[in-house]
Amino acid sequence: MKTLEVHYEGRVQGVGFRAMVKSEARGYEVAGRVSNLPDGRVRLLASGEDTEVDAFLEGIRKSPLAGHIRLETSAETRRPEGLRGFHIDP
């Protein structure tokens, strides 16, 4: 089991990025959330079995919005208690 915090930079706000990430998550056994950050980046928290999280992130990289991503950085983090489902944070 792993939990990653991923930050996306580029033209990732105002293009439907969060909704696309949530839609992509439906195809994988992952829990998490995605949110816009004040500095223009998008933050993704994804948790699940290693192969599911990795495949989910690869799906995002191959999505129609991949051209909007200039930089992707990730780091392992602790899974928040009570994390269930996949949500878009306001």
In the set 11, 26, 33, 36, the catalytic residue is: 36
Task: For residue 84, count CB atoms less than 10 angstroms from its CB and return exposed for 0-12, middle for 13-18, buried for 19 or more.
Answer: exposed
Query: What is residue 75's three-state secondary structure?
Result: strand
18 is catalytic: yes
36 is catalytic: yes
Q: What is the Cα–Cα distance from 7 to 14, expressed in whole angstroms?
A: 16
Catalytic residues: 18, 36
